[in-house]
Amino acid sequence: MSASLSKQSLTQLSASVKVPQYPRDERSRGIVHIGPGAFHRAHQAVYTDMAMKFGGNWRITGVSMRSATLKQKLREQDNLYSLVVLDNDPYVQVVGAFDSLLVLNEDRDAIMAALTDAGTHIISLTITEKGYCLTSNGDLDTSHSDIMHDLANPETPVSAIGLIVSALKHRFEQQQTDITVISCDNLADNGKKLHKAVVQFAQKLQPALAEWISANIRFPCTMVDSITPATDEALVELAEQKLGVSDNWPIQREAFTQWVIEDSFSGPRPQWEKVGVTFTDDVATFENAKLRILNGTHSTLAYLGTLLDKETVFEAISDDALEQFIGELLQSEILPSINAEGVMDLTAYADAILNRYKNRHIRHKLSQIAWDGSQKLPFRILNTTRDNLTQGNNATLLCVPIAAWILFIAKRFNDQEELVDPLAETLLALAEQYHGDIQGLASAVLNLPQVFAELSANKWFKDTVQSHVARLAEVNADNAAQVLTTLK
């Protein structure tokens, strides 16, 4: 049995393994991160680890709201872990950014001490959208059981929002304003949503606290991106093979990684800009580009690829007909819809996205991307379509993923496979009602106002989608190039 990863075994690793480039024991905490899951450990923690080469006390105290598993596993190896980057030129990196991992129901006092420590200048979060406890209109959900508990018991919060407000209340009393709260979750305007939830919670407790937070504490918006597949036994074995020592919980990700942060801080920060982080006054443009270029083409590949019996993004983009179609969609209808002049190079970003799709080492399943189409397509495709129609630009190719989605619904019904979608019951009922009548199904789906809104009344849009449905209904691996060429 091989030795375990630890600060002692760092010197035994292969020279090809990247290790922390700073005196780890001499650096103290500067960040408390709530939700230290795989994405944070593969993304923000890695940037922070690399930035400490350029100085600063920025080690991370990770706070798990529930599970103690990560704390137990990493404690045995001095809170070190390995990142395996999957690409044509793979590499392994040992990350040493964490100084400790704590669990709310076990370490409440230590967590509050870390959050209120004068040396802590950043509180960051990856807790998924549901962790913000918001209503559909973006307000704090005061009927949420965790929020109700925290408002009644503000000294023993169980939600991330309550925990942050409790820490900021202490800082308010001490007049410590040099701390920034950073959402790293994958939702638009994440900083604004977090700020609103925190201030609304504080307002319920103490109006003066809410006013102080609004006046003094910054909540920058961010955009994050990198595919991080789950850890499995194959990865554990690969990590041990590359390291020469065992790692209780390695993680993996693609080579591409992106972190864009609004340049609005109320305290000091690591030198993240020296390790690839983009600071900007316009995160919204980066978000919009990601939504339309990455997410829009992802959904298009998912539905078209499924019709051609492809399983992964790599398999789909490796099909010449699909690659050519995605390229034309980007150049003729998606990129012209985005105003990014002076902010980012859209062509370079689109090229980087296509190169990511061609990474054979990442098994990103089309079936997973295809989930929740009724919820995703309005943001990924339909808003782009609206902008093009308003501006008098072409939107014919943008109607193709909508047609492919309708055929995807019919296919799931016909194959008796689960349709993962908030409107699954409605969509499958329509598929049953119009079984054998694909044009009838298309017309019924296009009339759903909760998906298409005013586009349901746009004759050109509906006619174009239905025309695409008729052509795509016959598509297969042999005729894909010919069929897709006609959808212009």
Query: 348 and 262: one domain?
Result: no
- DSSP class of residue 280 equals E
Query: Is residue 4 assigned to a domain?
Result: no
Query: 76 and 29: one domain?
Result: yes
Query: Is residue 105 assigned to a domain?
Result: yes
Domain boundary among 230, 263, 281: 281
Query: 222 and 296: one domain?
Result: no
Asked whether 399 and 385 are in contact (CB, 8 A), the reply is: yes
Query: 339 and 210: one domain?
Result: no
Query: Is residue 3 assigned to a domain?
Result: no
Query: 246 and 316: one domain?
Result: no
What pLDDT, on the 0 to 100 scale, is given for residue 477? 85
| CATH code of residue 400 | 1.10.1040.10
Query: Is residue 1 assigned to a domain?
Result: no
Query: 277 and 298: one domain?
Result: no
Domain boundary among 252, 281, 310: 281
Domain boundary among 247, 281, 315: 281
Query: 54 and 157: one domain?
Result: yes
Query: Is residue 237 assigned to a domain?
Result: yes
What pLDDT, on the 0 to 100 scale, is given for residue 259? 98
What pLDDT, on the 0 to 100 scale, is given for residue 263? 98
409-414, Cβ contacts within 8 angstroms, sequence gap of 24 or more: 409/373, 409/441, 409/445, 410/438, 410/441, 411/306, 411/307
Two tokens, residue 483: 């069929």
Query: 25 and 97: one domain?
Result: yes
Query: 269 and 390: one domain?
Result: no
Query: Is residue 321 assigned to a domain?
Result: yes
Dump pLDDT digits (tens) for 272-327. Answer: 999 999 999 999 999 999 999 999 999 999 999 999 999 999 999 999 999 999 99
Helix axis angle, 160-174 relative to 108-116, nearest 10°? Answer: 50
Q: Is the pLDDT of residue 93 over 60?
A: yes
Q: Which residue has the tokens 């600060």?
A: 7
Question: What per-residue string of b and e applies to 267-276 under the rule 16 or more CB within 10 Å gives b?
Answer: bebbbbeebe
| CATH code of residue 150 | 3.40.50.720
Query: 227 and 252: one domain?
Result: yes
Dump pLDDT digits (tens) for 200-223. Answer: 999 999 999 999 999 999 999 999
What pLDDT, on the 0 to 100 scale, is given for residue 1? 57
Query: 291 and 276: one domain?
Result: no
What pLDDT, on the 0 to 100 scale, is given for residue 12? 87
pTM for this entry: 0.93
How many domains does one find in the chain? 2
**pLDDT grade for 136, boundaries at 50, 70 and 90:** confident
Asked whether 297 and 334 are in contact (CB, 8 A), the reply is: yes
Dump pLDDT digits (tens) for 32-44. Answer: 999 999 999 999 9
What pLDDT, on the 0 to 100 scale, is given for residue 253? 96
For residues 134 and 159, what is the distance between their CA atoms, to the nearest angstrom? 12
Query: Is residue 399 assigned to a domain?
Result: yes
Residue among 487, 469, 480 nearest 407 (CA)? 469
| Helices marked H in 244-378 | 283-289, 296-307, 313-317, 320-329, 346-357, 366-369, 373-377
For residues 72 and 164, what is the distance between their CA atoms, to the nearest angstrom? 24
Residue 410's domain comprises 284-485
Residue among 86, 131, 128 nearest 232 (CA)? 86
What pLDDT, on the 0 to 100 scale, is given for residue 385? 98
What pLDDT, on the 0 to 100 scale, is given for residue 4? 92
For residues 389 and 373, what is the distance between their CA atoms, to the nearest angstrom? 22
Q: Which region holds residue 195: left if phi is over 0, alpha if psi is between -120 and 50, else beta? A: alpha
* Residue positions counted in the chain: 488
Dump pLDDT digits (tens) for 382-394. Answer: 999 999 999 999 9
What pLDDT, on the 0 to 100 scale, is given for residue 451? 97
Query: Is residue 315 assigned to a domain?
Result: yes
Query: 198 and 52: one domain?
Result: yes
Q: Which residues, at least 6 apart from 61, have a Cβ–Cβ distance to it below 8 Å?
A: 29, 31, 32, 33, 98, 99, 100, 101, 102, 111, 114, 120
